Structure 1
Amino acid sequence: METSSLDQVRAAEFASGGATAYLATASCGLLPRRAVEAVTALAERNATGSRGGAGSFDAVDRARAGFARIAGVDPGRVSTGGSVAVHVALVAASLPAGAEVLAPEGEFSSVVSPFAVRGDLRMRYVPLAGLAEAVRPETALVALSAAQSSDGRVADLDAVRAAAAAHGARTLLDASQSAGWLPLDAGAYDYTVTGAFKFLMCPRGTSFLTVTEEAQETLPVLYAGWLSAEDRWNSTYGPVRRLAADARRYDEPVAFLAYHGAEHALALVAEVGVDALYEHATGLAARFREGLGALGHPAVPGTSAIVAVPGLGAREPELADAGVLVSNRAGNLRAAFHVYNTEADVDRALDVLAR
């Protein structure tokens, strides 16, 4: 999309007025207007008891297909749910006792805790930059985020995949902080997990799991219910006789309000295009890094859409008071840029930090 097209999307889908410079997408993305309207419509149907007020499985499946399109996989590889931690827990349950799980130091809790709390797996943590070199023959799984939550660093994903393949290890990628601005090839990993309420701008309660056909052979169906059945409506009583043949067997119970909004948010991401979002978001991030350097506040280097400034997190309240919303993570001031941000937002944040 041309910049003018981004301006049109910004005007049509997001509140304007300049009261707030919202740079906290790495915590929670803004809902586009079309998603708000879909959630509101369903809530009103729920309130009035009109037909179909509970929610539509067709909307859930359209959201599944929308995510699959962004992730570059067939919809049959995508499972829907509400939590990254729940999806990771399925993967943790698939590992035999004593298996080694390799992860970056300081990785987001939901990516590593389901493995750690088992107590019978061997957890090994290494610096992100040395993750690929740390894979060894006894490594069963490498679990990591494409972009780190604390500081936005993007892993060398090609190197990690190559090292895992060379040693027969499986890979689990968390795309929660990257899907929506960084191209995602979910088919290159055994598992991906994505909390979609950040750069994919879906309501909270929307999370996606992708699983290769090979990995499905060992992934347990711990949450089996009638939604996991090949024939949902004839599986509502008694044990499920036949599970869905694809990744839908891992679906969690549906949060319909979230998924009715997600369908439309994901359609917007596809319309704009991840390549256009990448160029826009990383361009603003580069402008912010340059400005920070000029102020004597060097940011974590890189080309991520997420910018972190070590030791500056304590200024988050000051920025909030000035109408600039950022995050304080691990002592870092963290700003994240997306479709609804402009150069004016960058300059506004820099002006406050220059005081």
Structure 2
Amino acid sequence: METSFESLVRSEFAPKNTYLNTASSGLLPARTVTALTEATRIRAEGRPLDPLFEDVEAARAAFARLAAVPAHRVAAGASVSTYSGLVAASLPAGAEVLTAEDDFTSIVNPFHARGDLKVRMVPLERLAESVRPETALVAVSAAQSADGRIADLPALREAARTHGARTYVDFSQAAGWLAMDATEHDYTVSTGFKWLLGPHGAAFLVVPEDFGALTPLLAGWVAGEIPWNSCYGPIAELAHSARRFDISPALFTYAGLRASLSLIEELGVAAIHAHDLSLADRFRAGLATLGHEPVPAPGSAIVSVPGLGAQQPALSAAGIEVSDRAGNLRAAFHLYNTTADVDRLLDALSV
């Protein structure tokens, strides 16, 4: 008998292929497509845009619930790299930033681009033990884009507290399937177009109650306490909340993301987590029977198989979408995937 989880998913998704590439970009739910269509009609028909700005606030509130923080701590922007640059700009010259080797560019490159910071890279597994008294900030992805390895965030948080360092955690490859508690970190960031199933062009930054020494360098009119009174000249009064770090929103994107987040909340992250991991573990077990050993990433919905990345074009031609990352075949399992999807990929790899 079909469960309520399965029936809801089936009502929202009807992929035309075997889509196992959420780590690159998630599929849009039917409700999101409807919301995007309505948003474009509002613009096309010359109606007031108020509902679209309301979508931004609703999406902010939904992400805040997923992150276990109040909405006033959440800034709405466009990309992870933008917010990484904002965090990087808050550091004094010469400050040490600790990162994981080969982490995703958007979270690490802005610290290198400063040119006057000491960026130290260590293996992900040694991140917590590598925090030292001179470390000002630790920046890391909760789940690694390349291979799905999950950072030991509790150990990192404890090490950072011991040495007085701040933490900046990117949940782009985890938000939506892995429980997220932004209260445990100084700064938390995530894009919305992967596991959160939204359109491209939205990202959220969670900041501390005291804003964590961030300066709103990118503030435009939407960052004012009363935005429509902040359209000309310098902003007289910045928003009293994290909205001071907002970037003028892509309204269509947020209209769609609001709908996508509503689906994530309806299904529940715990149920999505269980579903995704059961499929990932089925794939890992199947790989073992074929003589392949994936990158060790226990508890991850992302499975990366060394040496098989070159098969990605042929798999795509056969209607199976995966990624080639650094020579590894990367498969990502999300709520719309089924055991049949897993078995089809395994069958294709057995040839």
Q: What TM-score, normalized by structure 1, do the two folds share? A: 0.96
Match of 2:198 among 183, 188, 202: 202
Q: Does 1:298 align with 2:293?
A: yes
Q: Which residue of 2 aligns with 1:263?
A: 258
Cα separation, 2, equivalents of 1:40 and 1:102: 43
**Residue identity matched to 2:193:** F
CA distances 1:255-295 after superposition (whole Å, capped 9, x unpaired): 00000001110111011000000000011000000001110
Residue 241 of structure 1 deviates from its aligned partner by: 0.5
Corresponding residue SS for 1:150: coil
Corresponding residue SS for 1:102: strand
Cα separation, 2, equivalents of 1:89 and 1:179: 21
**Residue identity matched to 1:271:** E
User: Alpha carbons of 1:96 and 1:299: their partners in 2 closer, same or farther (altered >3 Å)?
Assistant: same
Q: Does 1:228 align with 2:223?
A: yes
Moved more, 6-15 or 100-109: 6-15
1:21·1:323 contact (CA, 8 Å) conserved in 2? yes
Residue 48 of structure 1 deviates from its aligned partner by: 2.8
2:52·2:252 contact (CA, 8 Å) conserved in 1? no
Cα separation, 2, equivalents of 1:131 and 1:337: 26
Q: Does 1:150 align with 2:149?
A: no
**Residue identity matched to 2:9:** R
Moved more, 3-12 or 92-101: 3-12
1:54·1:256 contact (CA, 8 Å) conserved in 2? no
**Residue identity matched to 1:84:** V
**Residue identity matched to 1:337:** F
Q: Which residue of 2 aligns with 1:343?
A: 339
Identity level (%): 55
CA distances 1:97-142 after superposition (whole Å, capped 9, x unpaired): 0000000101100111000011000010000001100000000000
Q: What residue ranges of structure 2 are gaps of 5+ in the alignment? A: none
Corresponding residue SS for 1:56: helix
1:55·1:256 contact (CA, 8 Å) conserved in 2? no
Residue 217 of structure 1 deviates from its aligned partner by: 4.6
Corresponding residue SS for 2:120: strand
**Aligned pairs for 1:234-249 within 5 A:** 234-249=229-244
Match of 2:94 among 98, 104, 112: 98
**Residue identity matched to 2:11:** A
Corresponding residue SS for 1:205: coil
Q: Does 1:219 align with 2:218?
A: no
Cα separation, 1, equivalents of 2:206 and 2:50: 26
**Aligned pairs for 1:130-209 within 5 A:** 130-209=126-205
**Residue identity matched to 2:37:** T
Match of 1:312 among 308, 314, 329: 308
Cα separation, 2, equivalents of 1:242 and 1:3: 53
Cα separation, 1, equivalents of 2:10 and 2:336: 9
Q: List, as ranges, runs of 4+ consecutive aligned residues in structure 1 with deviation greater than 3 Å.
A: none
**Residue identity matched to 1:68:** A
Cα separation, 2, equivalents of 1:294 and 1:337: 19
**Residue identity matched to 2:152:** D
1:46·1:54 contact (CA, 8 Å) conserved in 2? no
Q: Which residue of 1 aligns with 2:37?
A: 40
1:55·1:257 contact (CA, 8 Å) conserved in 2? no
RMSD: 1.2
